[in-house]
Amino acid sequence: MGELQRLTAAHAPALLAFETANRAWFARSIADRGDDYFAHFAQRHAAILAEQAAGLHHFHVVVDPAGAIVGRVNLVDVAHGRAELGYRIAASAAGKGLATAMVARVCALAAGAYALAGLTAVTTLDNPSSAAVLRRNGFIVDGAITVGDRPGMRYSRDLEIQRD
């Protein structure tokens, strides 16, 4: 299915390939990252790794058996025991349960290794697949929002912190 790995510097080439190959696919349901993201990818990758090292975010990639990145599942803006979940799956891997499985793994990491008490996530109303992934993983609707210029929903999930 796919292996969840914490993002490292070594992932940079494969991550850029993933983002480039799936740019149009992602833009169908979320705001495009813009040309600047791709033009300055190396600098941005180094910056997010520094933020991860500081505990501000937890970035993950989903790697297929051939070593290609087929997804991302991230926890961003970690503060006060909470974070925002975001994820994206390659067009070639969509609709196969990968997002649901990887979000479940990151939720377990959030409650365990990262000691978080809760997560939030957002999706647009025209992305029912994303909403289904959230519902399957125990997220509940927390209110209507606007994502960019599109109507959406905010979801939340409380976690039971797993102590070793």
User: What does the DSSP assignment read for 41-62?
Assistant: HHHHHHHHHHHHHTTS-B-EEE
> With 90 as the cut, is the pLDDT of residue 45 above it?
yes
Tens digit of pLDDT for each residue in 7-21?
Answer: 999 999 999 998 888
Question: Rounded to whole angstroms, how far apart are CA atoms 164 and 159?
Answer: 15
- In single-letter form, the type of residue at position 94 comes to A
> With 80 as the cut, is the pLDDT of residue 120 above it?
yes
- In single-letter form, the type of residue at position 26 comes to F
Backbone angles phi, psi at 160, to 5 degrees: -100, 110
CATH superfamily of 3-158: Gcn5-related N-acetyltransferase (GNAT) (3.40.630.30)
Tens digit of pLDDT for each residue in 74-113?
Answer: 999 999 999 999 999 988 888 899 999 999 999 999 999 9
Joined tokens for residue 41: 């990818």
Question: Rounded to whole angstroms, how far apart are CA atoms 155 and 2?
Answer: 25
Helix/strand/coil for 3:
strand
Which range is least confidently modeled, 47-51, 127-131, 147-151? 147-151
**Beta partners for 118?**
82, 158
Number of H helices, E strands in the chain: 6, 7
